[in-house]
Amino acid sequence: MKHLIILFFTILGALPILQAQCTEDCVWPGDLNANGIANNLDILAIGFAIDETGPARSPANNDWEAMEVDNWAGSLPILGANYKHCDANGDGLVSTDDQFPVSINYNRTNPNFTGLLGNNLLGDELFFVPQNNTTSPGGSYFIDVHLGRSDQTIDGIYGIGFQVVFDTQYVAEVKFDFSESWIGVDEEIFGYGKYSEETEHAATAITRLDGTPVSGFGKIAQMEIVITDVVLGLVNDTTACLPFSLQFENVLGINEFEEDLMIRAKGDSLTLKHPSQIVSTQNLENQASAFAIYPNPAQDILHLKTDQQKIKEVVLFNQLGQSVFQKNIPQEETKQQYFQITTAQLPRGVYFLSIKTDATKYLKKVVLQ
C-alpha cells in the first residue's frame, strides 16, 4: 500500500501543469513587437502601449516559449503587434517593468523571426562625441551619442534604438546614462541599455512615453565603456597602441506613428594605450590635485584622501597592466573620502593608481620603494 501511495504521488508530480497550447499569435516574453526576436528595439513598443491593460498571462513566467493570451484592445500602429505582446511580464499592464523579459531573453529568436529591424545607413545624423579619445586598461571611454546637428535637426522623433558594435574582448562593462537627452527628461522618456559578452554588442533604446514627438539636435545619451584590466598587446610594451573602433548597427528611429525616419549613422575610432603613456601624455597630475595620495614614494601603506568627492573604486595596477589590488566601495558607506592600501607585500617599483569617484576618474603614478 505504501508503495502504491508513493507511486500515485510520483505520477502526480510528473504531470505537466495544464496550460492551453498556443498555436496562433503567441506571446513570447520579451518580444514586444512580435517580430520573432527579443532585443532593444522591443523597448520602442513600450512608448506606444504604456499604461494599456488587458488579460494577464498564466503562467506569467519569462520562459522563452509560445504562450497563449487573449487579445487586448489595441495594437502597434505599423508593426501591428497586438498589445498583449507588449505586456512582456504578463501582469496585465504595460509598464517600464516589461523591459526585464527583454533583458532575460535578449537576442533569442523564435520561428517567426525573419530578420532584424533597423537600418545600417551611412551618414552623419547619429554619431559619437567621445569625451576622451584615449584610455588604457582598467580605464573608461565616456562617449556622448548625438542625434542631429544645428544645421541638420531631426524632426518629429518619438523613439530611437540602435546597437553599438566594438571589439568585446577589451570590454568589461558598458553603462548608459540618459539624464541629458534632448528627446526628453525624467518621466517623459524611458531609456534602456544592455550589454553582455554573449550579445557582442551594446544596445540601447530611448522612447518618449506621452504620445508626443519632439524635434531637435544634440546629445541623446552617454555611454561609458569600461575597458578590461589587462589588454593583450599592451602588456609588456609601453609604446603599444591599439585601435578601438565603434560602429552603429540596426538603427531604428521612429515618429509617433511608428514610421521609420531612416536615420543615418557614422562610426568612430578611438585608441587604447599602455597606462604609462596616459600618464605621460595627459596632464593628469593637475586633475589628481583634488586628491592627497601619500606618501609617494610609499613603503607599507598608501593613503588616499579626497576633498569632497566620494571614492567609488580603487584599482592599483603594475606596469604590465595587471591589477594587483582592487576595491569597490559601496556607496552607502560613509567614510568614502579616505582609503588606504596595504602595499607591504607588493614588489617594489612603479604602479598606477586608478581612482573612480562619484564625479570622475583619475589615474596617478605611484612608486613603492
What is the nearest approach in angstroms of Ca ion to the Cβ of residue 202?
Answer: 18
What is the nearest approach in angstroms of Ca ion to the Cβ of residue 56?
Answer: 8
Nearest CB to Ca ion, comparing residues 193 and 275: 193
What is the nearest approach in angstroms of Ca ion to the Cβ of residue 165?
Answer: 19
Q: For residue 144, give Cα distances in angstroms to 118, 123, 133, 194, 345.
A: 21, 17, 12, 16, 41
What is the nearest approach in angstroms of Ca ion to the Cβ of residue 212?
Answer: 23
Nearest CB to Ca ion, comparing residues 115 and 330: 115
What is the nearest approach in angstroms of Ca ion to the Cβ of residue 90?
Answer: 7
Nearest CB to Ca ion, comparing residues 36 and 156: 36
Residue type, 264: R
Nearest CB to Ca ion, comparing residues 47 and 130: 47
Nearest CB to Ca ion, comparing residues 91 and 229: 91
SS (H, E, C) 183-236: CCCHHHEEEEEEEEHHHCEEEEEEEECCCCCEEECEEEEEEEEEECCCCCCCCC
Q: For residue 121, give Cα distances in angstroms to 84, 124, 155.
A: 32, 10, 18
What is the nearest approach in angstroms of Ca ion to the Cβ of residue 82?
Answer: 13
139 with 321: CB under 8 angstroms?
Answer: no
Q: For residue 149, give Cα distances in angstroms to 126, 155, 176, 219, 262.
A: 9, 11, 21, 10, 16
353 with 366: CB under 8 angstroms?
Answer: yes
Positions in the binding site for Ca ion (CB under 5 A): 31, 33, 35, 37, 42, 87, 89, 91, 93, 98
Query: Distance between CA atoms of 209 and 114, rounded to whole angstroms?
Result: 28
Q: Which three cell numbers stand for residue 217?
A: 539636435
Nearest CB to Ca ion, comparing residues 54 and 275: 54
- The gap between the terminal CA atoms of the chain, to the nearest Å, is 79
315: DSSP letter: E
What is the nearest approach in angstroms of Ca ion to the Cβ of residue 23?
Answer: 20
Nearest CB to Ca ion, comparing residues 77 and 349: 77
Nearest CB to Ca ion, comparing residues 41 and 234: 41
- The C-alpha R_g of the chain, in whole angstroms, comes to 25
What is the nearest approach in angstroms of Ca ion to the Cβ of residue 329?
Answer: 35
Q: Which three cell numbers stand for residue 52?
A: 494599456
Closest CA to 67 of 92, 49, 84: 84
